[in-house]
Structure 1
Amino acid sequence: MKKGHEKFYEFKKSNEEMTDLYIYGDITSYKWDESDVGAYDFLKELNDVDTDNLTVHINSYGGSVSEGLAIHNMIKEFKGNVTTVCDSFACSIASVIFMAGKERVMHKGSLLMIHHAWTWASGNAKDLRKQADDLDKITEPSIVIYEKNSNLSRDEIVELMDNETWITAEEALEMGFATSIKEDDDAQQSINEMYLNHQVMLNKDLEKELNEVKEALKLEKAKNEEPLTGWNAFFNTKK
């Protein structure tokens, strides 16, 4: 049975007031199979959230700029209160998603990383110059988002991105990227919860597949036990 790529996110309703969203993994837009996921699938699940509060836990090296910007904007438009939490790494476009929170929490042992958009390119000199100009425009929304959610100037942000800068929790708080810092024990608890949630989802998938196999075996057995009639019964009579 073919499976799609693992989802890089998971929603979990904690109680009547709170839903937790875990973005753990590479943010991708590739859909080779119907079960693969992207921003459109994310939006459908986000629209089903019926609590007033959403906490977004992030541990990701980043990924697709288009998908990440879409997810950032969707979270920004969430009807309730949004808190983003960097559980470990929020790199590249994942750091932009981190900026979607009204409250932005860094665990003491976590890191942000910001840089310019990059890509692979081929072609003649004219093609490559155009690609460089396009990358500047693709990077622009991230610069605007960082500037809006920090106390840094545009020039300071661009310099950090030029240097592909890793940012500690303390530095993120000082720069305004984060609004508060939590201790590491809370980060471990969040990671443990994510692991348990993932195992529950795997067990549900295995249980579903097992039930499908059992049903198929029952049908095959019933087919083999159908009573013989007419000439079939005559020629298949046991002695």
Structure 2
Amino acid sequence: MIAEESWFDDEVTPAFFKSELDDGTGSITVWINSPGGDCFAAAQIYNLLLNYQGKVTVKIDGLAASAASVIAMAGDEILMSPVSMLMIHNPSTVAIGDTQDMQRAIGMLSEVKESIIGAYKQKSGLSHAKLASLMDEETWMNAEKAVELHFADRITSRQDLYPQGENEDPTNGESAVLNGKESKSLTETPMLFSRRKVAAAINKKLCDYAAACEAKTPAQTAEPITHRYKVKDLETRLDLIKHFI
């Protein structure tokens, strides 16, 4: 988790990150596996990496979601594991107060979203409208889709993990660079997941299913009346029943 301050000693804070960043010089590799957290803390870490003098390589080996995806955009090169995911969505907050307080909160969230779009746009080159739409829909991307949309540069291979030949590459170097264009895909199809689109698809399937069931159900027709009784006969039968109750 990314936070302004550490509460449980397992969060990544800007101060902690800066202390590690200042501990050495030269090229660095930032490994990311985070569900996100405080967007302002993430902005500080993003700027620390953006202003770092050496080369910054970002490797997403698990999840780069929400605020963590913003930090990833600061890399000079962004690599994703074949089984990693990247998620972007709108910023959120908790607000309390009157209508003016709510409007101020909405205005603040809108400005935060604009700043996040700036980081995504600088890396991906996608239009403002496209990025805003992807964030509105809470979009999840697998490695191939992230590369396709230019949120990442390429997918990691064994050669990236063992660049000095420490481990034999089973691909014999044939798939050293996996970018979806020059080499064989690691997954069958790129995956782009939108929560809003999934909800709409499920709703459509339910409506289609209900319509299909209604079409298959035969119309209910009244059963023909086959027995007719006179009122007098019915009264006689009721009188008879009364004697046994």
Global fold match (TM > 0.5): yes
* SS class of match (1:149): helix
2-structure distance, mates of 1:159, 1:170: 20
| Aligned match for 2:91, one of 107, 117, 120 | 117
Per the alignment, residue 152 of structure 2 pairs with 178
Larger radius of gyration: 2
Q: Does 1:81 pair with 2:91?
A: no
Contact 1:109 1:184 (8 Å CA) reproduced: no
| Aligned match for 2:19, one of 27, 30, 44 | 44
2-structure distance, mates of 1:45, 1:66: 19
Q: 1:173 to 1:66 in 2, by over 3 A?
A: same
RMSD, matched Cα: 2.3
1-structure distance, mates of 2:88, 2:18: 25
Q: Does 1:151 pair with 2:125?
A: yes
Q: Does 1:29 pair with 2:4?
A: yes
TM-score scaled by length of structure 1: 0.63
Q: 1:35 to 1:117 in 2, by over 3 A?
A: closer
TM-score scaled by length of structure 2: 0.61
Contact 2:81 2:156 (8 Å CA) reproduced: yes
Q: 1:152 to 1:32 in 2, by over 3 A?
A: closer
1-structure distance, mates of 2:8, 2:140: 35
| Aligned match for 1:131, one of 98, 105, 130 | 105
Aligned length: 161
- Mark the runs of 5 or more structure 1 residues left unpaired by the alignment: 1-25, 188-239
Deviation at 1:185, TM superposition (A): 10
- Mark the runs of 5 or more structure 2 residues left unpaired by the alignment: 162-245
Give the aligned residue type for 1:168: N
2-structure distance, mates of 1:36, 1:146: 24
Contact 1:108 1:184 (8 Å CA) reproduced: no
Q: 1:37 to 1:110 in 2, by over 3 A?
A: closer
Per the alignment, residue 140 of structure 1 pairs with 114
Deviation at 1:41, TM superposition (A): 3.0
2-structure distance, mates of 1:37, 1:147: 25
1:1-239 equivalent positions in 2, closer than 5 A: 26-31=1-6, 38-50=13-25, 52-183=26-157
Deviation at 1:175, TM superposition (A): 0.7
1-structure distance, mates of 2:117, 2:47: 15
Q: Which has the higher helix share?
A: 1
Q: 1:151 to 1:138 in 2, by over 3 A?
A: closer
* SS class of match (1:130): helix
Deviation at 1:34, TM superposition (A): 10
Contact 1:96 1:146 (8 Å CA) reproduced: yes
Contact 1:115 1:160 (8 Å CA) reproduced: yes
1-structure distance, mates of 2:81, 2:8: 36
Contact 1:107 1:186 (8 Å CA) reproduced: no
Give the aligned residue type for 2:88: I
Deviation at 1:30, TM superposition (A): 2.5
Contact 2:2 2:12 (8 Å CA) reproduced: no
Which has the higher mean CA deviation after the structures are superposed, 132-141 or 156-165? 132-141
Give the aligned residue type for 1:66: F
Structure 1 ranges of 4+ moved more than 3 A: 31-37, 183-187
Deviation at 1:31, TM superposition (A): 4.4
1-structure distance, mates of 2:8, 2:80: 35
Contact 1:114 1:166 (8 Å CA) reproduced: yes
Which has the higher mean CA deviation after the structures are superposed, 62-71 or 40-49? 40-49
